[in-house]
């Protein structure tokens, strides 16, 4: 499994600009994610991962999110030691760059 650990870094969207922190965990051989919520955000929308696949040092992720019925959120996160970069594609919002993320735990 790749990318296991606590990650933090900046994002810039129309809804939020600042640092985010999330955890990638090994849940019995399957990936699990937890999110630390930034100040002012009370809840992560309900989500379900429909696909998580490793491609070398990249995790390709597809998820359903309750706020976007019938749509898919797609992410490609590439890991290089204790750094990570990639992109998250969100319907109606567009591409969110994931850059300068660091493993912090």
pLDDT computed for residue 32 by the predictor: 93
Report pLDDT digits (tens) over 19-35: 999 999 999 999 999 98
Mean pLDDT within 4-17: 91
CA separation for the pair 57, 26 (Å, rounded) = 16
Res 37: pLDDT: 74
List pLDDT tens digits, range 62-78: 999 998 999 999 999 99
């Amino acid at each position: 499994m790749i990318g296991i650990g606590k990650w933090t870094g900046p994002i810039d969207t129309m809804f939020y600009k600042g640092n985010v922190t999330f955890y990638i965990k090994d849940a019995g051989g399957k990936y699990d994610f937890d999110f630390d919520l930034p100040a002012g955000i009370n809840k992560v929308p309900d989500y379900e991962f429909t696909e998580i696949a490793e491609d070398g040092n990249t995790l390709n992720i597809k998820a359903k999110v309750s706020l976007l019925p019938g749509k898919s959120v797609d992410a490609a996160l590439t890991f290089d030691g204790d750094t990570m970069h990639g992109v998250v594609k969100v319907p109606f919002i567009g591409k969110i760059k994931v850059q300068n993320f660091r493993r912090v735990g």
